[in-house]
């Protein structure tokens, strides 16, 4: 049996860090409100020349280096983003060209904040059926470019960044490492609660993020607990077996509520929302890379990813490192 093992990770952030205090000088908000309601203290905002592809390329190069592989040997790139460089072609093809692995498969996935989970499950399926052997799964976003900077209910919540993992097909008896189970969902009836009010086929503009935060919050806690229960049940493992929960970083209060519902020790939850804010599809791989590089996540650990976002879409994966 083939398993898809994570053999490397990398991440990238724009140069400019923007604190809550700096934002409060431009928008009618305060550090106190943002910290109390979301746990966010700062975010990184892309400057001139920094794009979804440039962040993705940096994260991807670091992931290849970490895995100890030549980027030319990558035969599949799946890039999750809601903020592509261009409407087409896929930003993944820019990454492919920069890495010099032209000729393989490269495409984008649009599932907003759940994008990395959708990309990971897709890459896992493709590796297990033999369509590819060595994949890069990337989440990269420049959400700052689709924010309405006059809407304080959304502009304080998001940041830019990228995270990437190398996923390699291996015989499952090698060391037991790999994706154990994944579960994905979508509910198109909830479109109005979180969406962008533009697009090529409707307004011929890029549009801005619109969100009814309180309602999204309510759905997030319920949907995430459900999908995490599904991946555990499918694997025959229990929450007590999980070493690290790496959740989508939207709001510290959602992380606390999800941890409580699951019954996992908050010390086992990777939290980066304070530093990165909500980076949409980049948030899970960014948090994962942070916890791997600081030595928390180790070989052999059981790690759970989860995310929920616009659509709605939501998903989870259980991975043995």
Alpha helices in the chain (DSSP H): 20-24, 31-38, 52-67, 91-99, 115-128, 152-155, 213-235, 252-262, 273-276, 283-293
Q: Which is nearer to ligand UT7, 152 or 320 (CB)?
A: 152
Provide the mask over 219-248, with x wherever binding to ligand UT7 is found by CB under 6 A and - wherever it is not.
-x----------------------------
- Give me the catalytic one of 113, 155, 208, 223: 113
Phi, psi of 290 (to 5 degrees): -60, -45
d(CA 184, CA 244) in angstroms, rounded, equals: 20
Q: Which is nearer to ligand UT7, 61 or 152 (CB)?
A: 152
Does 113 engage in binding with ligand UT7 (CB under 6 A)?
A: yes
Position among 12, 80, 164, 250 found at the interface with ligand UT7 (CB under 6 A): 250
Least spacing, CB of residue 194 vs ligand UT7, in Å: 6
CA 64 centroid distance within chain: 18
113 as an active site residue: the answer is yes
Among the candidate windows 2-10, 68-76, 91-99, 210-218, which touches ligand UT7 by CB under 6 A? 210-218
> Site residues for ligand UT7, window 264-283 (CB under 6 A)?
278
Does 255 engage in binding with ligand UT7 (CB under 6 A)?
A: no
Contact criterion met (CB below 8 Å) for 68 and 269: no
219 as an active site residue: the answer is no
Does 207 engage in binding with ligand UT7 (CB under 6 A)?
A: no
Does 120 engage in binding with ligand UT7 (CB under 6 A)?
A: no
Does 41 engage in binding with ligand UT7 (CB under 6 A)?
A: no
Does 31 engage in binding with ligand UT7 (CB under 6 A)?
A: no
Peptide bond into 232 cis (omega under 30): no
248 as an active site residue: the answer is yes
Q: Which is nearer to ligand UT7, 42 or 93 (CB)?
A: 42
Position among 45, 74, 136, 216 found at the interface with ligand UT7 (CB under 6 A): 216
- CA gyration radius, the chain: 18
d(CA 229, CA 62) in angstroms, rounded, equals: 33
d(CA 126, CA 2) in angstroms, rounded, equals: 11
Q: Which is nearer to ligand UT7, 215 or 241 (CB)?
A: 215
Contact criterion met (CB below 8 Å) for 255 and 307: no
Angle between helices 52-67 and 283-293 (to 10 degrees): 40
Half-sphere exposure of 166 (CA within 13 A, CB side): 25
- Residue among 100, 120, 94 at smallest CA distance from 109: 120
Give the catalytic positions in this structure.
113, 248, 278
Residues that bind ligand UT7 (CB under 6 A): 29, 33, 37-38, 113, 152-153, 156-157, 213-214, 216-217, 220, 250-251, 254, 278, 308-309
């Amino acid at each position: 049996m083939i398993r898809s093992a994570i053999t490397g990770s990398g991440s990238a952030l724009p140069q400019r860090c923007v604190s809550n205090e700096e934002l409060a000088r431009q928008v009618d908000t305060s550090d106190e409100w943002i910290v109390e309601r979301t746990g966010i203290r700062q975010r990184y905002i892309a400057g001139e020349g920094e794009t979804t592809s440039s962040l993705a390329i940096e994260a991807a190069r670091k992931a290849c280096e970490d895995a100890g592989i030549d980027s030319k040997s990558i035969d599949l790139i799946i890039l999750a983003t809601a903020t592509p460089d261009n409407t087409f072609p896929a930003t993944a093809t820019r990454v492919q060209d920069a890495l010099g692995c032209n000729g393989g498969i490269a495409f984008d996935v649009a599932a907003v904040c759940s994008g990395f989970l959708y990309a990971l499950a897709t890459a896992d399926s493709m590796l297990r059926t033999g369509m590819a052997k060595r994949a890069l799964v990337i989440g990269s976003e420049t959400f700052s470019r689709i924010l309405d900077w006059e809407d304080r209910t959304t502009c304080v919540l998001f940041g830019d960044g990228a995270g990437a993992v190398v996923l390699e097909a291996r015989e499952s008896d090698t060391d037991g490492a790999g994706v154990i189970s994944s579960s994905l969902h979508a509910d198109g009836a909830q479109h109005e609660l979180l969406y962008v009010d533009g697009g090529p086929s409707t307004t011929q503009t890029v549009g801005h993020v619109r969100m009814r935060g309180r309602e999204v919050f309510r759905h997030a806690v319920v949907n995430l607990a459900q999908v995490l229960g599904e991946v555990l049940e499918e694997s025959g493992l229990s929450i007590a077996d999980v070493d690290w929960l790496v959740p989508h970083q939207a709001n510290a209060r959602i992380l606390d509520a999800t941890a409580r519902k699951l019954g996992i020790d908050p010390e086992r939850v990777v939290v980066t929302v304070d530093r990165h804010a909500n980076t949409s599809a980049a948030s899970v791989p960014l948090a994962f890379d942070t916890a791997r590089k600081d030595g928390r996540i180790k070989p052999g650990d059981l790690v759970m990813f989860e995310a929920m976002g616009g659509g709605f879409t939501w998903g989870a994966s259980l991975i043995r490192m």
